[in-house]
Amino acid sequence: MVQLRHLRETIPEWFNNALLTTQSKPIYGNHPNRTGEDFPALTKINARAYLRASTNEQDATRAREQVEAFAQERSLPIVGTYIENESGAKLVRPELFRLIADSKPGDVLLVEQVDRLSRLTDADWRKLRSELDAKQIRVVALDLPTSWQLVQEGDEFTKRMFAAINAMLLDMLAAVARKDYEDRRRRQAQGIAKAKAEGANRGRPEDTGRNAGIAAMLRSKASWTAIQAAFGCSRATIAKVAKRQPVAA
């Protein structure tokens, strides 16, 4: 994941100053040097936590404590937690869209990192952003400090400025997450191709003795059911062996 400090080299100085402010303490009204103690209690904002992992072998709840601690530090109530094991490269994810359906205007979608929300193509990311914008859902990610300002009170100018900055960086990090996904898939494919070329395919080695027996039974016109019973193999295995048999003239 590209760190925000790497992005600062390409954006104006006023943004760097604003970013540093959000990382130290929130801005209240037109008084950046004051804290929340100088102002009335903030309007309550509800959050919905989204926790995702790509496969069933991975722990989708890994970051739950971190997300809940973030919300607790900001007195941000989590009214729902949505957990699923689905690829971030898929647009249609049951729990994500249940979260969107349950959300009310102004609710926060809280995630550990932007890549937990999206590793989508640009077209699918735009569709998801459209769904979020239609419900007026604000995305807050622990790895995107500018988004933290979205759960704080401020004057209209400050809120609009940070909303615009956050939208820009959200798009950038979603693009980075997609590129990371594509890079990993490419490296994986290259590794598999190399292993096959070296005769070190990670798949199970072929059971040549069993397959020879299957071939013999196929030549003797035995039924596939009988072959399955004899060798405890799948019909897919029988079909694979059958394809290798010479075609009768």
Catalytic site residues? 54
Q: What are phi and psi of 179, to 5 degrees?
A: -60, -40
Q: Is 113 exposed, middle or buried (0-12, 13-18, 19+ CB in 10 A)?
A: middle
DSSP label at residue 31: B
DSSP alpha helix (H) spans, 88-207: 94-102, 114-117, 122-134, 145-148, 156-197
Instruction: Tell me the C-alpha distance between 171 and 220, whole Å.
Output: 63
Number of H helices, E strands in the chain: 11, 4
Task: Enumerate residues 6+ apart whose C-beta is below 8 A from 43.
Answer: 153
The gap from C-alpha 173 to its chain's centroid, in whole angstroms, comes to 12
CA–CA dist 246, 248 (Å, integer): 6
d(CA 150, CA 148): 5
Cα end-to-end distance, the chain, whole Å:
61
Residue 235 CA to residue 243 CA, distance in Å, equals 12
